[in-house]
Amino acid sequence: MKPSIKPMVLFCASLLLLSTECSNQDESWYESRFGYVNFNLGESPVKPPQRHELSLYGCNTEVTTRERVWNGEKNLEWGVDNQVFTDVPYGYREEEGRRYFVSKYYMASPPVMEMMNGGESSNEQAIIGLVIPDRFTFFGEKPVQIVNLNYNILRKVYLNYVNVDYYYKVDKDQMSCGDMGVDLIPLNIQCKDFEWLNKSETEPIFDARGASGIGRLRNEKGQNQVFLPSYQPNGEECLDCTITILDDILLKHEVFFVMDDGYSKTISLTDFYQKNGQNKSIPLACAPRFELPEGCKPPKD
């Protein structure tokens, strides 16, 4: 006897309907959800301690402590654990008809400046800390991420600033990044010879070297620049650093550095500074983006 096809067809149709319902339910389940970030801050690297700024960058999303109140004031407090950001965007969002997913975040924590020898600006040193981790991806129903800040582990440095040109044009008919409305650009800064310290702050810790962190560029005066650390106040003993555009969370545009040999997402900031000093800006080039980058898609299982 041949088996009946009809029950099998009904079963498959039911399975397909169930699969479709689950898919729709999963997508709506992620609509406008939020996650939490729990910050633990170590000792302040300067006295008296000042509240500290920190920013999170996700797909088409910026969350900053300048807009959040913790314990009655904005920004974070040194020496305090469990400072929680609530309502950090997570899940599907939509803007101008473009649907994207917010889950992956990078975190930028600026240097703390320390004035030396009576407060002369030429003797201003920067204390750069570690954010651990400096990136994460939310998952789950009400996800939470724990982040630790340590600003007493890396050798103090001086900062050399290099401007970035948002209005550079390869030719007169091309729109610049500024013309296209490009503003926030997250960066990864890696310095392979950054020295670590022990608690005495006078000797390297096991000769450890190498540190990285997240930065960002804005199309605003004073914020359209990157910094190159060095161990001398006049730009001497520059660290060996590269900068990379964190392109996977840029929803609307793709961004490149323009070098003599072409376009690139990563450049040696040290080579550029040693060749040009502060006399030349790093040119940027941008192109509209029509497909979602990886950091704007739902995380893979």
23 exposure class (CB count in 10 Å sphere: 0-12, 13-18, 19+): exposed
Stretch among 140-149, 205-214, 266-275 having the lowest mean pLDDT: 205-214
**Of residues 240, 146, 120, 124, the one with CA closest to residue 189:** 240
Residue 14 in this model has a pLDDT that exceeds 70: no
Give dist(CA 273, CA 280) in Å, integer.
9
Burial 250-266 (b: 16+ CB within 10 A, else e): bbbbbbbbbeeeeeeee
| Segment 177-204, tens digit of pLDDT | 999 999 999 999 999 999 998 655 555 5
Return the top range by mean pLDDT from 67-76, 168-177, 242-251, 292-301: 242-251
Give dist(CA 174, CA 197) in Å, integer.
48
In the structure, what pLDDT confidence band is assigned to residue 26 with cuts at 50, 70 and 90?
low
DSSP string, 57-80: EETTEEEEGGG-EETTEESB-TT-
In the structure, what pLDDT confidence band is assigned to residue 208 with cuts at 50, 70 and 90?
confident
- Which helix or strand (DSSP H or E) is residue 130 part of? strand 130-132
Residue 3 in this model has a pLDDT that exceeds 60: no
| Segment 273-300, tens digit of pLDDT | 999 988 899 999 999 999 999 999 998 8
Please report the pLDDT score of residue 199 as a whole number.
57
**pTM, rounded to two decimals:** 0.85
Please report the pLDDT score of residue 171 as a whole number.
85
Residue 10 in this model has a pLDDT that exceeds 90: no
Average model confidence (pLDDT) for the chain?
85
Give dist(CA 132, CA 182) in Å, integer.
29
16 or 221, higher pLDDT: 221
Whether residue 220 contacts residue 251, with contact meaning beta carbons closer than 8 Å, is answered with no
